[in-house]
Amino acid sequence: MSGTLYLCATPIGNLDDMTFRAIKILREVAIIAAEDTRHTRKLLTHFDIHTPMIRFDENCKSIVGEKILSQLQAGESIAVVSDAGLPAISDPGAELVKLAVDAGIKVSPIPGANAALSALICSGLDTSKFLFAGFAPKTKKNRREFLQKLSGVDATIIFYEAPHRLRTFLTELAEIFGEREIVLARELTKVHEEFLRGKIGDLLEKMPEPRGEYVVLVAGSKISAEIPPDENISAVVEKFMADGLDKKSAMREAAKIFNVSRREIYNKLLSLEL
Ligand code: SAM
């Protein structure tokens, strides 16, 4: 019989968030596959866990993945942990799960801390519908395309971002999303935990130099849910104009909703007028 692949959550800052079950499973499994063994060693030492570890990160995932798979098939259970939170969420693990699922091996979660959901539940934004977008691409062109595609989503959007890229990210977010409500969830579960809430531009002005870890949450687009696509482009432009925007700005806002360029909106309006 094959072993079980456990996806094991670890704390995102506060060691007290480690669960009893995580400690038990990490003690019981044959091997712990860790994103960074030196980092995880500290956690294991703290909880008196002496299970052997194997490194499993982006660079070695295919070789180690196969090795882990054959051990699971040989009947050993293995736990995957990342540096913080849930493995496979903006962290290694997803490929391993795919390998195990394809091989008919049991995969089981050991739930616990996660930055995205911890931020969402305290954000004050709509929690009934949300989209986890993870890290934005690093190159400007890809990042802008990525944000453009998300700008019309009518659900709370959750991003992860590194502190040294946060200002650039928020500046581009403001350009593409307009003046949306956002929440910056900083240093969750740690001593300097804080939530900054407001319009993107205001927060950019008020915010001190970003330090620590951040989750960025953005309120969903209000209009896209109400307005069906394409033939109603003119209705959207008219709605924005009725709300006080000039035609150029109204087309720019409509372009964000329909995820097209302003030029395309302009052309569409021309064709509708014919
Ligand atoms: N797997 C993790 C999880 O389940 O949340 C996420 C790992 S991802 C590599 C790291 C990113 O998560 C950070 O750049 C930050 O955006 C977010 N993050 C992790 N811990 C955080 C914390 N304590 N407070 C705020 N954001 C955090």
| Structural domain for 231, as ranges | 224-273
**Ligand 1 atom 23: residue of nearest CA:** 188
Same domain for 31 and 65?
yes
Same domain for 142 and 122?
yes
Alpha-carbon gap, residue 41 to 101, rounded angstroms: 28
Same domain for 32 and 108?
yes
Q: pLDDT means per 10 residues in the chain (274 residues)?
A: 97 98 98 96 98 91 89 97 98 94 97 98 98 98 94 94 97 90 98 97 92 97 57 81 87 79 75 65
Regarding the beta carbon of 7 and ligand 1, being less than 6 Å apart is answered no
The model's pTM:
0.85
- Rounded to the nearest 5°, which phi and psi values hold at 228? -65, 155
Regarding the beta carbon of 12 and ligand 1, being less than 6 Å apart is answered yes
Same domain for 27 and 85?
yes
Regarding the beta carbon of 174 and ligand 1, being less than 6 Å apart is answered no
Determine the 3-state secondary structure of 182 from DSSP: strand
Q: Which atom of ligand 1 is closest in space to residue 185's alpha carbon?
A: 25
Alpha-carbon gap, residue 115 to 149, rounded angstroms: 23
Same domain for 13 and 84?
yes
Specify the CATH number for the domain of residue 137.
Answer: 3.30.950.10
Q: Mark which of 113, 131, 151 sits at the end of a domain.
A: 113
Contacts of 270 (CB under 8 A, 6+ apart): none
* Cα–ligand 1 centroid distance for 125 (angstroms): 19
Same domain for 88 and 134?
no
* Cα–ligand 1 centroid distance for 119 (angstroms): 10
pLDDT of residue 229: 56
Alpha-carbon gap, residue 221 to 118, rounded angstroms: 22
Q: What domain count does the chain have?
A: 3
Q: Which atom of ligand 1 is closest in space to residue 190's alpha carbon?
A: 23
Regarding the beta carbon of 86 and ligand 1, being less than 6 Å apart is answered yes
Same domain for 228 and 190?
no
Same domain for 198 and 244?
no
pLDDT of residue 196: 97
* Best mutation site among 35, 90, 97, 135 for ligand 1 pocket (most ligand atoms within 8 Å of CB): 90
Q: What CA–CA distances, in Å, run from 36 to 24, 33, 108, 130?
A: 20, 9, 21, 30
pLDDT of residue 174: 93
Specify the CATH number for the domain of residue 59.
Answer: 3.40.1010.10
pLDDT of residue 274: 52
Alpha-carbon gap, residue 114 to 12, rounded angstroms: 7
Same domain for 50 and 145?
no
Q: Mark which of 66, 86, 113 sits at the end of a domain.
A: 113
Binning the chain into helix, strand and coil, the percentages to the nearest 5 are 45, 20, 35
Inter-helix orientation angle 233-242/247-258, to 10°: 130
* Cα–ligand 1 centroid distance for 12 (angstroms): 7
* Cα–ligand 1 centroid distance for 132 (angstroms): 12
pLDDT of residue 225: 47
* Cα–ligand 1 centroid distance for 210 (angstroms): 15
* Cα–ligand 1 centroid distance for 213 (angstroms): 7
Same domain for 178 and 256?
no
- For the beta carbon of residue 81, count every other beta carbon within 10 angstroms: 30
pLDDT of residue 116: 98
Question: Tokens 């330090």 sit at which residue?
Answer: 211
Same domain for 41 and 105?
yes
pLDDT of residue 201: 92
Kindly report, residue by residue over 163-215, the tens digit of the pLDDT: 999 999 999 999 998 889 999 999 999 999 999 999 999 999 999 999 999 99
Same domain for 64 and 105?
yes
